């Protein structure tokens, strides 16, 4: 679980600060004219924030699960972060 959180942090950093927009599905296959329609900096900010948020939720769930000695909390935090993060990206990246 912690490796997933670390991966999300790395992806957020790569997309935002290293401008690795190829990690954003579909962006690298757009024509230059299509790419001009989108504010890629705003989209990169959105991806970074969501990736960091997902990582924070996973890490929090991991720590709380250890505190209460309940493995179900880890799974709940992981899947909740995936579902909410994905839906949030889909809804807010369309603008």
pLDDT tops 90 at residue 22: no
Tell me, what DSSP letter sits at residue 22? G
- The Cα 89–Cα 91 span in angstroms is 6
Rounded to 5°, the CA angle 54-60-65 comes to: 125
Specify the pLDDT at position 95.
Answer: 55
Lowest mean pLDDT among 4-13, 15-24, 68-77: 15-24
Residue 47 buriedness (CB in 10 A; 0-12 / 13-18 / 19+): buried
Judged by phi (left if over 0) then psi (alpha if -120 to 50, else beta), residue 24 lies in beta
Q: pTM value?
A: 0.84
């Amino acid at each position: 679980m912690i490796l997933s959180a670390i991966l999300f942090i790395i992806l957020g950093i790569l997309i935002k600060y290293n401008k690795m927009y190829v990690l954003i599905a579909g962006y690298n296959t757009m024509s230059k004219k299509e790419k001009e329609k989108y504010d890629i900096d705003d989209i990169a900010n959105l991806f970074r924030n969501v990736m960091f948020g997902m990582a924070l939720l996973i890490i929090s769930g991991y720590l709380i699960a250890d505190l209460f000695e309940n493995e179900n909390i880890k799974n709940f935090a992981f899947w909740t972060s995936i579902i909410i993060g994905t839906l949030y990206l889909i809804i807010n990246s369309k603008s």
